[in-house]
Amino acid sequence: MELLKDFKELHSLFINLMDRSLEIGFTDEQKHRINDLYELRKDNLKREKLNEIKGLLDTIHEIDELKDYWDGIKWYLFNNRKFIGKEFENLVAKNFDRAMEKVKGVG
């Protein structure tokens, strides 16, 4: 799980393991551990993505560039909504709002 960098791939692996858990012979404890690992990795991926977004936002100094970046990110968020949740989307949007205020203040 640690090697996966994509929410869909991570979710697919998790579902596959859980679907095959009876066949593999996982105990309830092992299934809970897999779930914990899945949630931990998902949280780490969200943190990494948020740091990546914040880093890029710090380099943007023009409104059009910021809008273009938002257009790409909003599709990423939409396509991963079931994995990352609305709360994460709102957090990203707030970062974009702050960046817009900063860019408007400069321009």
Give residue for tokens 């023009």: 62
Question: What local confidence, expressed as pLDDT, does residue 4 receive?
Answer: 86
Question: What local confidence, expressed as pLDDT, does residue 78 receive?
Answer: 93
Torsion of CA 58, 60, 63, 68, to 10 degrees: -110
Instruction: Give the model confidence (pLDDT) of 60-96 as tens digits.
Output: 999 999 999 999 999 999 999 999 999 999 999 999 9
* pTM of the predicted protein model: 0.86
Give residue for tokens 């690992």: 37
Q: Is the pLDDT of residue 106 over 80?
A: no
Of 39, 43, 73, whose CA–CA distance to 55 is shortest?
73
Strands annotated E in the chain: none
Q: Is the pLDDT of residue 5 over 60?
A: yes
